[in-house]
Amino acid sequence: MAKIAINIATGSLQQAEMIVGIDLGTTNSLVAIIHPESKIPVALKEHDSSSLVPSIIHFDALGNPTVGEAARLFLETDPKNTIFSAKRLMGKSYKDIQENAGFFTYKVIDDDTESLVKVQVGNTFYSPVELSSLILKELKQRAEHILKTPVSKAVVTVPAYFNDAQRQATRDAGKLAGLDILRIVNEPTAASLAYGLGLHKDEEKTIAVYDLGGGTFDISILKITNGIFEVLSTNGNTYLGGDDIDRMIVQYWMQQSGISLEELKNNQELSQGLRLRAEEAKKYLSTHDAFEVNWNGDILALTREVFEGLIQSLIDQTIQCCSNALSDAKLTPSAIDTIVMVGGSTRVPAIKKAVSDFFGRPVNDSVNPDEVVALGAAIQADILAGNNKDFLLLDITPLSLGIETMGGLMDVLIPRNAKIPTKAGRQYTTHKDGQSDMRISVYQGERDLVKDNRKLAEFSLKGIPGMPAGLPKVEVSFLINADGILVVRAKELRSGVEQEIEVKSQYGLTDEEVEKMLLDSITHAKEDMQIRALVEARTEGEEILAVTEKFIAKNASLLTAEEITATASAMQALQLALTMEDKNLIHSKIEELNEVTRPFAERAMDVAVGEALRGRVI
Ligand code: AMP
């Protein structure tokens, strides 16, 4: 049932605000909603125009942006001021995109290769976040225009391989556009939802999502168990797509009619014209056997057979990626229960056939491949709006998260594969008297020593009031919200001093890196265990030495000369053991020191208790 609210200002009834689903694509973007009456997901479009909004921004001489179809017209005529594929720059440094820098016809700033990229248009610099926000703003306005109601909440999709930084950047773009992004969902997960997959409890399925768009290709292997989508592996080529198919057709026609590359380069009208005809031919051949057009007196023709020959190598490349993704997931093609097709280029029959042949079963292609991701996002939005209460979409953490403790050990707070959203907390204390700062270093990974894991963030809890070592109670809590963004909080419970940070790592991990970290943790398991035991023994030894030293300084008057000498020599022996790599030796020296100090520690305790009973401050 839709919620009804009353507008206090006007006294009128109003519907609770709708949450929209947005596919923020590299080439095209679109908005979808669950239709309030039919309850069916629909892509929003104005009258009979397309639901797709090209993800292109053109800046005029005054720096005013135009987004979408109107901006597309400037791609060839004003390339320096026309920004396409901004999504490829999200959360990236120049170093990351260096290899493909030639792809961008506009100016991507390269003076600081390590920090996040900027795009220069005239004298203005734009971050990819700002550029994406312009696209989101356009989508928001379109949706508001069509729905005739304000839109401020959305679910936005991102590729499964997007790292923390890229997800965070997407979220920031939403904020800039005046959209509250309630959830970031993986594109293959959204596509699966649009096919109704994962919407039933107890469902267990392995799904392959094959996504071939205009400029990118990716294949994701997902496992759904009880509503949890786990990305088992992803593979692909971020510079392969329908545009390459168009280019192959242009090349073929150039060969046929003897047009040289030089001619094409120098004649913008010719190159643009051929490219548009090529795309037209490609689309036509998805439903017909032959294409022919008379263009300026030239006949441009292409049969489906020749076309399929032209793109065979491209198809083979994508199938190789499928094979890689399967082997990364340690699965064979027959283990895949369902194949979902995403992206306009999957309309090519030869592509469908190749994918179906590879997996040995028919593909799911009944939902419009351009809209399927946005439709899935709308389904997720509807779930978040509370309209589908039995169902909660969950994701899991790929690697364990924890903090560094004494001796460089990893203390895991949230183990790998934990369902998110999730939270965990643990208490820690200081190891020095009067310690006022506590450094919290957050790590991700499976190894016992933090140096082998990946550091995500570090901060200091400052202003802990002076207390003896071991007395402050610092509670460190980890909260992973539904988008997989980690918030770490540290609070000293006695004084209430607290500090919180949102972990925005500059660079996230690729799937290969995650896999390598997992593999390393298995290969080094035994060695790690031994090191952990040694580090723990050393920490214990150091603590005992510190306590003993303090005790002797304070209670020297209660000890005999022999006791002091015996203690000093036991301490020395322990100190020496700490420099060696033998945990058993450390333990035995700890034991020996305890033996020596036990009698007078007990005596001192008696004195202290006696004094306390007499009402003295100790
Ligand atoms: P997307 O990025 O998912 O919007 O995909 C856009 C790509 O799909 C472009 O390269 C289009 O040329 C391509 N495309 C759209 N319709 C068809 C079709 N009927 N046959 C082949 N490719 C198509």
For the stretch 31-52, pLDDT in tens is 999 998 899 999 999 888 899 9
186: which strand partners? 158
Give the residue-averaged pLDDT of 312-332. 96
**Does residue 368 have its Cβ closer than 6 Å to ligand 1?**
no
Residue 608 pLDDT more than 80? no
CA of 543 to the centre of ligand 1 (A): 66
Do 19-194 and 198-366 fold alike per CATH? yes
**Does residue 345 have its Cβ closer than 6 Å to ligand 1?**
yes
CA of 242 to the centre of ligand 1 (A): 6
Would you list the DSSP string of 344-405?
GGGGSHHHHHHHHHHHTS--B--S-TTTHHHHHHHHHHHHHTTSSTT---BEE-SS-EEEEE
Fold of the CATH domain 19-194? Nucleotidyltransferase; domain 5 (3.30.420)
**Does residue 370 have its Cβ closer than 6 Å to ligand 1?**
yes
Residue 347 to residue 361: CA distance in whole angstroms: 17
Return the structure tokens found at 162: 């997007």
Q: Is residue 204 helix, strand or coil? A: strand
Phi first, then psi: what are they for 397, rounded to 5°? -85, 135
- Using pLDDT thresholds of 50, 70 and 90, give the confidence band for residue 9: very low
Q: Which of 23, 130, 138, 382 is catalytic?
A: 23
Of 191-200, 222-231, 306-315, 352-361, the one with minimum mean pLDDT is 222-231
Residue 552 pLDDT more than 60? yes
- Using pLDDT thresholds of 50, 70 and 90, give the confidence band for residue 510: low
Residue 359 pLDDT more than 60? yes
Residue 165 to residue 425: CA distance in whole angstroms: 24
Give the residue-averaged pLDDT of 462-491. 87
| pLDDT at position 391 | 54
Question: Are 119 and 65 within 8 A, CB to CB?
Answer: no
Looking at domain 401-509, its CATH architecture is: Sandwich (2.60)
Residue 38 to residue 142: CA distance in whole angstroms: 21
**Does residue 25 have its Cβ closer than 6 Å to ligand 1?**
yes
**Is 211 among the residues known to form the active site?**
yes
- Using pLDDT thresholds of 50, 70 and 90, give the confidence band for residue 11: very low
**Is 3.40.1030.10 the CATH classification of the domain at 198-366?**
no
Q: Please count the other Cβ atoms lying within 10 Å of the Cβ belonging to residue 337.
A: 16
Q: What percent of the chain has pLDDT over 90?
A: 55
Residues 6+ positions from 291 with CB-CB distance below 8 Å = 280, 281, 284, 285, 300, 301, 302, 303
| pLDDT at position 281 | 98
Out of 26, 30, 283, mutate this one to test ligand 1's pocket (max ligand atoms within 8 Å of CB): namely 283
Residue 443 to residue 171: CA distance in whole angstroms: 23
The protein residue whose alpha carbon is closest to atom 3 in ligand 1 is: 343
**Does residue 279 have its Cβ closer than 6 Å to ligand 1?**
yes
| pLDDT at position 208 | 98
For the chain, domain boundaries: 19-194, 198-366, 401-509, 527-613
Residue 279 to residue 299: CA distance in whole angstroms: 16
Average per-residue pLDDT for the chain: 87
Fold of the CATH domain 527-613? Substrate Binding Domain Of Dnak; Chain:A; Domain 2 (1.20.1270)
| pLDDT at position 388 | 65
User: Greater confidence, 607 or 291?
Assistant: 291
**Is 23 among the residues known to form the active site?**
yes
Of 143-152, 202-211, 262-271, 448-457, the one with minimum mean pLDDT is 262-271
Residue 14 pLDDT more than 50? no
**Does residue 174 have its Cβ closer than 6 Å to ligand 1?**
no
Residue 142 pLDDT more than 80? yes
Residues 6+ positions from 202 with CB-CB distance below 8 Å = 226
Buried b (16+ CB within 10 A) or exposed e, 19-54: bbbbbbbbbbbbbbbbeeeeeebebbbeeeeebbbb
Question: Are 191 and 209 within 8 A, CB to CB?
Answer: yes
**Is 37 among the residues known to form the active site?**
no
Residue 110 pLDDT more than 80? yes
User: What's the pTM?
Assistant: 0.67
Atom of ligand 1 at shortest range from CA of 216: 2
